[in-house]
Amino acid sequence: KAGVTQTPRYLIKTRGQQVTLSCSPISGHRSVSWYQQTPGQGLQFLFEYFSETQRNKGNFPGRFSGRQFSNSRSEMNVSTLELGDSALYLCASSLWEASTDTQYFGPGTRLTVL
């Protein structure tokens, strides 16, 4: 069974731009969670989607948003990029809601903001 896939793997943007990252969960998984990883803050939770609904949200500004489609694929969007948004963005999927099931991570999208 294929793992979690994320596209693109690497991205370079400039301040003020916006970006959309994509995540395809493991086949059959219905929950997708997004995390941001930086050297300074470590791994931090952004949000979780289950059955196209946001179930849980971390402490990030409204510039960070996401959505989930009927096939469970998810996208996250960051608007008005700031230098501090440079990070590895990780997507994790689970069969059921993240509160009840193990999460499996994708390889991440490395975003660099110049």
In this chain, which of 24, 31, 68, 74 binds other proteins, going by CB under 8 A? 31
Contact 80/113 with Cβ under 8 angstroms? no
Contact 90/80 with Cβ under 8 angstroms? no
Q: Does 55 bind other proteins (CB under 8 A)?
A: yes
Q: Does 70 bind other proteins (CB under 8 A)?
A: no
Instruction: Round the CA-based radius of gyration of the chain to a whole number and report it.
Output: 13
Q: Please name every residue paired with 96 in a beta bridge, in sequence order, or none if there are none.
A: none
Q: Does 45 bind other proteins (CB under 8 A)?
A: yes
**Closest among 114, 17, 32 to 71, alpha carbons compared:** 32
Q: Any idea which residue has 């996250």 for tokens?
A: 76
Write the interaction track for other proteins spanning residues 2-21; mark x where CB under 8 A is met and - where it is not. Answer: --x-----------------
Pick 12 or 17: Cβ nearer other proteins = 12
Q: Report in angstroms how near the CB of residue 62 gets to other proteins at its nearest.
A: 18
